[in-house]
Amino acid sequence: MKLSWNRYGKASVRLVKVDRGDGLHTVRDFTVDVQLEGAFERVYMDGDNADCLATDTMKNTVYAFARQHGVETPEAFADRLAVHFIAQHAVATATISIVEHRWARLSVGADAHPHAFVQPGADEWTTVVTRSATRVSIRSGLRNLVVMKTTDSGFSGFPRDAYTTLADTSDRIFATSMTASWTYRQGAADFSLRERVRRTLLETFAAHASLSVQHTLYAMGRAVIDACADVDEITLSLPNRHHLPVDLTAFGLDNPNEVFLATNQP
Amino acid sequence: MKLSWNRYGKASVRLVKVDRGDGLHTVRDFTVDVQLEGAFERVYMDGDNADCLATDTMKNTVYAFARQHGVETPEAFADRLAVHFIAQHAVATATISIVEHRWARLSVGADAHPHAFVQPGADEWTTVVTRSATRVSIRSGLRNLVVMKTTDSGFSGFPRDAYTTLADTSDRIFATSMTASWTYRQGAADFSLRERVRRTLLETFAAHASLSVQHTLYAMGRAVIDACADVDEITLSLPNRHHLPVDLTAFGLDNPNEVFLATNQP
Amino acid sequence: MKLSWNRYGKASVRLVKVDRGDGLHTVRDFTVDVQLEGAFERVYMDGDNADCLATDTMKNTVYAFARQHGVETPEAFADRLAVHFIAQHAVATATISIVEHRWARLSVGADAHPHAFVQPGADEWTTVVTRSATRVSIRSGLRNLVVMKTTDSGFSGFPRDAYTTLADTSDRIFATSMTASWTYRQGAADFSLRERVRRTLLETFAAHASLSVQHTLYAMGRAVIDACADVDEITLSLPNRHHLPVDLTAFGLDNPNEVFLATNQP
Amino acid sequence: MKLSWNRYGKASVRLVKVDRGDGLHTVRDFTVDVQLEGAFERVYMDGDNADCLATDTMKNTVYAFARQHGVETPEAFADRLAVHFIAQHAVATATISIVEHRWARLSVGADAHPHAFVQPGADEWTTVVTRSATRVSIRSGLRNLVVMKTTDSGFSGFPRDAYTTLADTSDRIFATSMTASWTYRQGAADFSLRERVRRTLLETFAAHASLSVQHTLYAMGRAVIDACADVDEITLSLPNRHHLPVDLTAFGLDNPNEVFLATNQP
């Protein structure tokens, strides 16, 4: 028996890097895979791990490099990691794969927003019409509108009980996949209003000084009701996509709110 | 025991409607759900189907209505269906849900293309860097770039054997979720080239007089190689998302390439 | 420029084959991919389709072969298709990939059922407890319990209107992914009852002479209420996974309810 | 404007609880959702978080309760959480939803294994036949065979560099979704061999004293080659589904390898 597939690695390291220069933030959002190939016979055959770099170490390296060297093009960032890993003793070849997720700067009126972003195009329009002999209800909406703001969002003053470990924060990332639906006033017939609803939601998200997800959710709903007389009622869902600042102190690095592990939690 | 959830229906009817007026095509892409609620006790308790409109009939009605009445806003189209279904004997309430999938007109240079479309934003950038002590290979790409052209695509002259039923066609919809990746020439360092690759792929897709998926795939790859000296080699995947013209003759309707059942096949 | 990836094919052909010998049915459930590789230069470069077997023909061949030759092991069925396709003019290599989905015969008491089947293990238990200061409600359930019966299911006598094309049938496949949830009587504390609910649902599904999905749904709910005194109320969802008999007459073959295209519709 | 949906919560807390009594382990695998509803007007309208229990605290509570009170039925565990949360100041109603994922004890010969488990039924058989004019290759396999062992797995002695934070461990959970495929010797025709391959893989996984994932992967491949003369070559993929022991010290609790956060990483 011959060992012919002597490779292993770490998949799906979710890295978000924010640069905050001058208040005009930029965001890079990567999913990184690391694969090492080499003379790992002793690892596989004997259970001797002296040449087996832990996949956890690979993950740490991705986050530390993002802080130390910055995130330039995915090609250059991938190669920087590859150069690092082939210096390992048993490694013959390193393969770094990156998927870059696109973010566009949100526009407010004619202006590009300095720290609010949207994933272009993924959202879809929804409509539910319910009709009986005597009544019709028209509910329209949108789903999967993915947005992020890299500052102007905090969460503090919440209750602390025996199970509370979360620290107060006055500056965190706020990212969410927005779902909204609203009911039209009886008789309303201009459904192109949905464009104004969408714009109002985005602009309020961008502008709001957020003290919690709920706080911004309410402000967004309120803004739509105020801006659109034909909207009777609106329901919003803003599930938090947590972005956890990575603790880099073990590597002698600080992390001034720049390097995040992105979770895609519902 | 009381029957309290007396409702049923048809989910996920995939409708694509093309309007071809004057050569400037427009596309509407809907997923439609139909739910009927009413006095269906005999259906559930006795197996008497006299009041049980078949879900297959609901599906047919969606396609026939698209041809007969056109597809205006999702709200109006949904309500037209609802009005129809509550006229059924046992139906008390009809609920029609529509998700509208967004398509944007493709731009070629400064011009909006008359019959080529793109789903905005869903695509992502990819990179794979493979490095050994002596060699580095940089492969970049994009994935999930969803495009459609509503004419200028045919497929005919293929072999006919005992299992062939497909008719020749000179005018069909060509839709695909494009994946591409290419290798950079050794030493190339300007990875912003990917924008030019993407644009070249889109413009060739739009402009090509397609005799088969393979024919267009080759033309797209060729165009990239011609336009980008730093691209050594390109691999393309264009899985056909079939759009089947719906046969409406049973309902006394023709279908001049306007009403399609969309499949999301790989 | 050299053409180096000259291959194409048809993915995800969903084949279900029922053998009905002696009333003890057997079921084979395959997803089949066909890939052809060869001298397709003219197809790609010139748009000449004389060597381009249509992917639609590949799909037809899968269904026709299932009828003509039966479905033995996936290995033998795949190779039979491969032998057929490499006889095509330009084909150098045919690759047939099959995924076989597992079905187990349903047991009723100690006996194996002749024509009712279950996908082993995919289902999960669910619970929702809702509590306020004054009230607690305990709702348990199961989801994704995938079952099929290959006879003893019909659908006829439904209304026929201008949009009805579905024929009456007295013998069709009934397949579904079952979701159920039920509320326990106040004070009930023996939640191992869920095993009896599950068994009752399965046995009723298997035994019921089904005149419609709704008819069987009601019978299943009724049976649980009758068998389990601690169940106050039950909600069931049985979305039809249609299995369409494939029309093989164009290939000179009948189809006595044996070869089906499986859809995974919600 | 009236606030009518004043609820929020934490979704998808992934809890695995191992009981190790007497060496015969038991496993419970839950996904838990917490939803609180109540008088949260000040949270939403004013950004005052005094009544807004952090969702992070909800997650901590789930893990701490699993350690403090054990995991009995999902119904009782859910209600215990609900009772806790409605004691919060502003909470009127707590809704706890649990999905329980099924694990079955692995059998080795006639015996139930004390600490190896399998998710029943989710795996599927695969086959790829590749044929040219002169050659046929038959490759069979299985995918999505989800297994776990709750002891007899360690990982230590791996290289420590500047980015290494992982501690050596001699006792961790080893869980994976196994994919395997193997090539048959030319001329082999008894494809029922796959059952023996599957059994050999499972029994080796259960019995192996694992020093790393790679170490067990090799042992499993070796065992198949030794047991099945008609298997020429086997490829295995065992992506680690990490189970992270939850640090409960902040809550005054130890965690003797019993309470885990399950990740579903690829």
What pLDDT, on the 0 to 100 scale, is given for residue A266?
47
C12 vs A2, residue with greater confidence: C12
Percent of chain D past pLDDT 90, that is, above it, reads: 91
Cβ contact, residue pair A45, D218, below 8 Å? yes
| Cα–Cα distance for residue pair D37/D8, rounded to 1 Å | 7
**Picking from A1-5, D97-101, D129-133, which range would have the lowest pLDDT averaged per residue?**
A1-5
Q: Which residue in B101, B28, B106 sits closest to A122, CA to CA?
A: B101
Q: Which residues of chain C have pLDDT under 70?
A: 1, 5, 265-266
Rg of the Cα trace of chain C? 24
Mean pLDDT across chain D: 94
In the annotation, is C59 catalytic?
no
Residue D265 has pLDDT above 70, yes or no: no
| Cα–Cα distance for residue pair D58/B169, rounded to 1 Å | 60
Taking the Cβ of residue B49 and every Cβ of chain A, the question of whether any pair is shorter than 8 Å is answered with no
What pLDDT, on the 0 to 100 scale, is given for residue C266?
47
DSSP code at position D20: -
Neighbors of chain B by Cβ distance (3+ pairs < 8 Å): A, C
For residue D116, the surrounding DSSP H or E stretch is strand D111-118
Which member of B74, B95, B191 has the closest CB to residue A130? B95
Residues of A in contact with D44 (CB under 8 A): 214-215, 217-218
Which member of A92, A96, A102 has the closest CB to residue B129? A96
What does the pLDDT look like over D122-167, one tens digit per residue? Answer: 899 999 999 999 999 999 999 999 999 999 999 999 999 999 999 9
| Cα–Cα distance for residue pair C13/B257, rounded to 1 Å | 25
Q: pLDDT category, D264, cuts 50, 70, 90?
A: confident
Cβ contact, residue pair C165, B57, below 8 Å? yes
Mean pLDDT across chain A: 94
Tokens linked to B227: 């336009």
What pLDDT, on the 0 to 100 scale, is given for residue C264?
73
What pLDDT, on the 0 to 100 scale, is given for residue D266?
47
> How far A107 CA lies from chain D's nearest CA (Å)?
25
What's the CA angle centered on B57, arms B53 and B58, to 5 degrees? 85
Q: Which residue in C248, A123, C137 sits closest to B121, CA to CA?
A: A123
Residues of B in contact with A144 (CB under 8 A): none
The SS3 of residue C220 is helix
Residues of D in contact with A214 (CB under 8 A): 8, 40, 43-44, 52
Cβ contact, residue pair C159, B53, below 8 Å? yes
C 236-255 residues with CB < 8 A to B:
239-240, 250-252
| Cα–Cα distance for residue pair B174/B176, rounded to 1 Å | 7
Across chain C, which distance is largest between two alpha carbons, in Å?
77
Which residue of the set A84, A101, A215, A242 is catalytic? A242
Cβ contact, residue pair D94, C131, below 8 Å? yes
| Cα–Cα distance for residue pair C39/A170, rounded to 1 Å | 64
What does the pLDDT look like over D107-121, one tens digit per residue? Answer: 888 899 999 999 988
Residue position matching structure tokens 């238990």: C125
Q: Which residue in C40, C39, C42, C17 sits closest to C27, CA to CA?
A: C17
| Cα–Cα distance for residue pair B189/B191, rounded to 1 Å | 6
Question: What ipTM did this prediction achieve?
Answer: 0.92
What does the pLDDT look like over D172-222, one tens digit per residue? Answer: 999 999 999 999 999 999 999 999 999 999 999 999 999 999 999 999 999
What pLDDT, on the 0 to 100 scale, is given for residue B266?
47
Across chain D, which distance is largest between two alpha carbons, in Å?
77
Which residues 6+ apart lie within 8 Å of A112 measured at CB?
A105, A106
Chains D and C touch (3+ CB pairs under 8 A): yes
Tokens linked to C144: 């994704």
What does the pLDDT look like over C204-240, one tens digit per residue? Answer: 999 999 999 999 999 999 999 999 999 999 999 999 9
Residue A93 has pLDDT above 90, yes or no: yes
* Contact between residue A82 and residue A96 where contact means Cβ atoms under 8 Å apart: yes
Q: Is C135 exposed, middle or buried (0-12, 13-18, 19+ CB in 10 A)?
A: exposed
| Phi, psi of A241, deg, nearest 5 | -95, 95
Cβ contact, residue pair B130, A93, below 8 Å? yes
Which long-range contacts does C133-138 make (Cβ < 8 Å, 24+ apart)? C133/D86, C133/D92, C136/D79, C136/D82, C137/C183, C138/C183, C138/C184, C138/C188, C138/C191, C138/D75, C138/D79
Tokens linked to B160: 């006919």
Dihedral of CA atoms D249, D252, D258, D263 in degrees, nearest 10, equals -50
What does the pLDDT look like over A171-215, one tens digit per residue? Answer: 999 999 999 999 999 999 999 999 999 999 999 999 999 999 999
Across chain B, which distance is largest between two alpha carbons, in Å?
77
What pLDDT, on the 0 to 100 scale, is given for residue D218?
96
Residues of D in contact with C128 (CB under 8 A): 78, 95-98
End-to-end CA distance of chain A: 45
> How far A18 CA lies from chain B's nearest CA (Å)?
18
Which residues 6+ apart lie within 8 Å of C177 measured at CB?
C144, C145, C146, C239, C241
Distances (CA, A) of D40 to A4, A56, D4, D50, D205: 60, 40, 10, 10, 51
Taking the Cβ of residue C127 and every Cβ of chain D, the question of whether any pair is shorter than 8 Å is answered with yes
For residue A16, the surrounding DSSP H or E stretch is strand A7-19
Taking the Cβ of residue C217 and every Cβ of chain B, the question of whether any pair is shorter than 8 Å is answered with yes
In the annotation, is A10 catalytic?
yes
| Phi, psi of B137, deg, nearest 5 | -125, 130
What pLDDT, on the 0 to 100 scale, is given for residue C110?
84
What does the pLDDT look like over A104-144, one tens digit per residue? Answer: 999 888 899 999 999 988 899 999 999 999 999 999 999 99
| Cα–Cα distance for residue pair D113/D204, rounded to 1 Å | 12
Residues of A in contact with B124 (CB under 8 A): 99-102
Pick the residue of A89, A117, A129 with the most B CBs within 10 A to test the interface with B by mutation.
Answer: A129
Per DSSP (E only), the strands in C21-90 are 26-38
Q: Which residue in D206, D208, D224 sits closest to D216, CA to CA?
A: D208
Residues of C in contact with D83 (CB under 8 A): 131
For residue A85, the surrounding DSSP H or E stretch is helix A74-86
* Contact between residue A37 and residue A90 where contact means Cβ atoms under 8 Å apart: no
Residue A6 has pLDDT above 90, yes or no: no
| Phi, psi of D39, deg, nearest 5 | -85, 70
For residue D57, the surrounding DSSP H or E stretch is helix D55-69
Predicted structure pTM score: 0.94
For residue D77, the surrounding DSSP H or E stretch is helix D74-86
Cβ-Cβ pairs closer than 8 A, A with D, add up to 148
> B148 pairs with which residues across the strands?
B117, B175
Which residue of the set D55, D95, D126, D179 is catalytic? D55
Residue A2 has pLDDT above 80, yes or no: no
Cβ contact, residue pair B47, C211, below 8 Å? yes
pLDDT by 10s per residue, chain B, length 266: 677 768 899 999 999 999 998 899 999 999 999 999 999 999 999 999 999 999 999 999 999 999 999 999 999 999 999 999 999 889 999 999 999 999 999 988 889 999 999 998 889 999 999 999 999 999 999 999 999 999 999 999 999 999 999 999 999 999 999 999 999 999 999 999 999 999 999 999 999 999 999 999 999 999 999 999 999 999 999 999 999 999 999 999 999 999 999 997 54
What pLDDT, on the 0 to 100 scale, is given for residue C136?
96
Considering only alpha carbons, which residue of chain A is nearest residue B38? A132
